[in-house]
Amino acid sequence: MTRASYDVLVVGAGAAGMMCAIEAARRGRRVLVVDHADRPGEKIRISGGGRCNFTNLGCGPANFLGENPRFATSALRRYTQHDFIKRIDKAGIGWHEKTLGQLFCDDSAKQIIRMLTDDMAAAGVTLKMKTGVERLARSGDGFTTALSDGSQVTAASLVVATGGKSIPKMGATGWAYEVARQFDIRVTDTRPALVPLTFEAGLLETLTPLAGVAVDAVVASAPETKAEARTRKASFTEAMLFTHRGLSGPAILQISSYWREGEAIVASMAPGRNIFDELKAAKAANGRQAIHTALGHIIPRRLAESLCEREGAAGNLADLSDKVLRRLDQAVNAWSVKPVGSEGYRTAEVTLGGVDTAALDQQTLQAKSVPGLYFIGEAVDVTGWLGGYNFQWAWSSGWAAGQNA
Ligand code: FDA
């Protein structure tokens, strides 16, 4: 059996792990990174449709969920989106803002992976892929691990950067949570987030013909108690997409992080427009117009037809009462619908919840009760909105741990 000793062992060569390894190695620490996947940074590679939405210009603690949303403040302030942008600029990677402060590579997400792997090599980091940790124990002030390649590695610091449970097919595991539990560190409830929502068969039947229809919507959560509303009341103004399985699109992915089983979500599909007033005006101007045609001038035609059918609004505008027009107004701008679930970890972009932030030092991400043990990135109970926030948390938390590990 080969034995090796390092100052820092980082498990997980994703965004957070690579960032941490670079920073620790630049401080002169001897760093080994292991990962059971074939290649580093696989989630970076597939993110943002292959262009990686690597940060957000407006990133701040308000864009994150967790039992203590303020926890992220320190790392986000010490290593900001502007610090990462400078790094990208220095590496000569072109980028652009797509919408809502979201920054994407002009060319390919692979450029970011190359920048990180080049920086690791330049700083002297050893990277071992296709290698997992089979056993882990505390030894003296540090840690001893048995790796799947048969070697034994001891390290003064152990950085757990294995992410969350989203997309198991890409190598995601709950290993970070197992390590936390091994050291008596609490893990909060975890659930798929930034994920499409699903609907019961009857409702789905009415939604499926709309597959492919997209609207700019305001979608809000509807927690049932005041206490829950304090942490889970939110609304997002973004695109909503009807799919064969239910609802998706950015507005739905965003609200999925706030939604809980048994609750409704409320969608406004023509935000800022008074449907009743507009239909009344259309009726006065041309009462012989079919209702679905008039509504189809405000929202996509297929959606208009479907809503008219659902609300029993048929015929010409002239034949319809104010009551029916008001019902249509509600159906368009206060559509309350109860999802039955989500598509789960198979498609979720992130895992909500994780290693309890109360157990970690917010400046260094070190476990308070286990000196030398660090948790960073998605493994921690810090979950960002859709839009580059999760990568920024990975960069910031990786950087912060890298100053100390
Ligand atoms: P990450 O999951 O990236 O890395 C963990 C690493 O640990 C992996 O390489 C894995 O193989 C390894 N690992 C896991 N278990 C292990 C074990 N037991 N032993 C050894 N290695 C192990 N965010 C964003 O801000 N902008 C975006 O555009 C997108 N887009 C996006 C698209 C898709 C499809 C997904 C699934 C996710 C996104 N995200 C995103 C979210 C973002 O990808 C995510 O939050 C970060 O990758 C988290 O970085 P980490 O380094 O914490 O974990």
Atom of ligand 1 nearest to the CA of 392: 25
Rg, the chain, Cα only = 25
List CB contacts of 243: < 8 A, sequence separation 6 or more. 196, 211, 212
Residue 93 has pLDDT above 90, yes or no: yes
In terms of Cα–Cα distance, which of 275, 267, 199 is closest to 236? 267
Residue 184 has pLDDT above 90, yes or no: yes
Q: What are phi and psi of 33, to 5 degrees?
A: -115, 130
Question: Could you tell me if the CB of 192 is within 6 A of ligand 1?
Answer: no
**What's the mean per-residue pLDDT of the chain?**
97
Residue 260 has pLDDT above 90, yes or no: yes
Question: Could you tell me if the CB of 333 is within 6 A of ligand 1?
Answer: no
Q: How far apart are the CA of 15 and the centre of ligand 1, in A?
A: 7
Atom of ligand 1 nearest to the CA of 13: 9
Question: Could you tell me if the CB of 171 is within 6 A of ligand 1?
Answer: yes
Q: Reduce the DSSP state of residue 245 to 3 states and report it.
A: coil
Q: Please state the separation of Cα 276 from the chain's center in Å.
A: 36
Q: Does residue 268 contact residue 329 with C-beta atoms inside 8 Å?
A: no
Q: What is the mean pLDDT of residues 204-224?
A: 95
Q: Please state the separation of Cα 252 from the chain's center in Å.
A: 12
pLDDT band at 253 (very low <50, low <70, confident <90, very high): very high
CA 360-364-366 angle, 5° bins: 40
Residue ranges with strand state E in 12-130: 31-34, 53-56, 64-65, 95-97, 102-105, 126-128
Q: What is the mean pLDDT of residues 30-52?
A: 97
pLDDT given for residue 69 in this prediction: 86
CA atoms within 13 A on the CB side of 175: 19
Cα–Cα distance between 289 and 303 in angstroms, integer? Answer: 17
Q: Does residue 185 contact residue 355 with C-beta atoms inside 8 Å?
A: yes
Q: What is the mean pLDDT of residues 80-99?
A: 98
pLDDT given for residue 33 in this prediction: 98
Q: What is the mean pLDDT of residues 19-44?
A: 98
Best of 100, 147, 390 for a ligand 1 pocket test (most atoms within 8 Å of beta carbon): 390
Q: How far apart are the CA of 167 and the centre of ligand 1, in A?
A: 9
Q: Whose C-alpha lies nearest to ligand 1, atom 35?
A: 349
pLDDT digits (tens, 9 = 90+) for 261-311: 999 999 999 999 999 999 999 999 999 999 999 999 999 999 999 999 999
Question: Could you tell me if the CB of 43 is within 6 A of ligand 1?
Answer: yes
pLDDT digits (tens, 9 = 90+) for 120-165: 999 999 999 999 999 999 999 999 999 999 999 999 999 999 999 9
In terms of Cα–Cα distance, which of 340, 263, 337, 343 is closest to 307? 337
Residue 1 has pLDDT above 90, yes or no: no
Q: What is the mean pLDDT of residues 320-327?
A: 97
Q: Which two tokens stand for residue 247?
A: 């609802």
Helix residue spans in 286-337 (DSSP H): 291-295, 301-310, 322-333
| pTM listed for this prediction | 0.97
CA 261-267-273 angle, 5° bins: 170
pLDDT band at 194 (very low <50, low <70, confident <90, very high): very high
pLDDT digits (tens, 9 = 90+) for 377-392: 999 999 999 999 999 9
Strands 3-11 and 102-105 turn out to be unpaired
Q: How far apart are the CA of 144 and the centre of ligand 1, in A?
A: 25
Q: Which two tokens stand for residue 343?
A: 């598509």
Best of 47, 105, 147, 177 for a ligand 1 pocket test (most atoms within 8 Å of beta carbon): 47
Cα–Cα distance between 209 and 247 in angstroms, integer? Answer: 12
Please tell me what DSSP assigns to residue 385.
P
The helix (run of H) or strand (run of E) holding residue 182 is: helix 175-182
Q: Whose C-alpha lies nearest to ligand 1, atom 18?
A: 175
pLDDT given for residue 126 in this prediction: 98
Q: How far apart are the CA of 325 and the centre of ligand 1, in A?
A: 47
Question: Could you tell me if the CB of 48 is within 6 A of ligand 1?
Answer: yes
